[in-house]
Amino acid sequence: METRRLRKLHAMGVPVWRQRQRRGDRRGSRSGRIRLEAGSGRWLLVVDEVERARYDTFLGDLMATLGPAECRFGTWSDSPDSGVGPEDWIAHGIEHVLVAGAHPGAPADCVGVASLAELSSSASERRRLWARLRERLGR
């Protein structure tokens, strides 16, 4: 809001709330932090909530492979002040983070895979995913 308008509102006694933004933050940018859903498990599956419902069958197969008790879900945080960063994963029992789709803010420790749409429709993408999981599972 321009300064003149702010002064005018202030003179009228109208409180003005402004959203603070940290230096370097951009609206809509990923912070590299993940909001954890309830649960536990050493595998964190980071997927969009809408895609999660849409590709429930595929995610069920993935969880069966990894072990249902070993999986938990999370979503990207848009704030650098919320969620869990890579430095806190071990404290939360997280050993592996699987990120579906391209996310430029994803930490380097993440196992990045194709989007759920690509994985559910492409046999070659599924083979690539299983090969990467095999490496992590030690099979």
Domain that holds residue 83: 29-137
44 burial level (CB within 10 Å; 0-12, 13-18, 19+):
buried
Per-residue pLDDT of 68-92, as tens digits, reads 999 999 998 888 888 888 888 889 9
Task: Count structural domains, the chain.
Answer: 1
Q: Which residues of 99-130 are buried (b: 16+ CB within 10 A; e: fewer)?
A: bbbeeeebeeebbebbbbebbbeeeebbeebe
Q: Is residue 20 part of a domain?
A: no
Domain assignment of residue 18, yes or no? no
Q: What percent of the chain has pLDDT over 70?
A: 86
The amino acid that residue 138 corresponds to is G
- Asked if the structure places residue 67 within a domain, the reply is yes
In a domain, 1, yes or no: no
Does residue 17 belong to any structural domain of this protein?
no
Find the CATH number of the domain harbouring 53.
Answer: 3.40.50
**Structural domain includes residue 10:** no
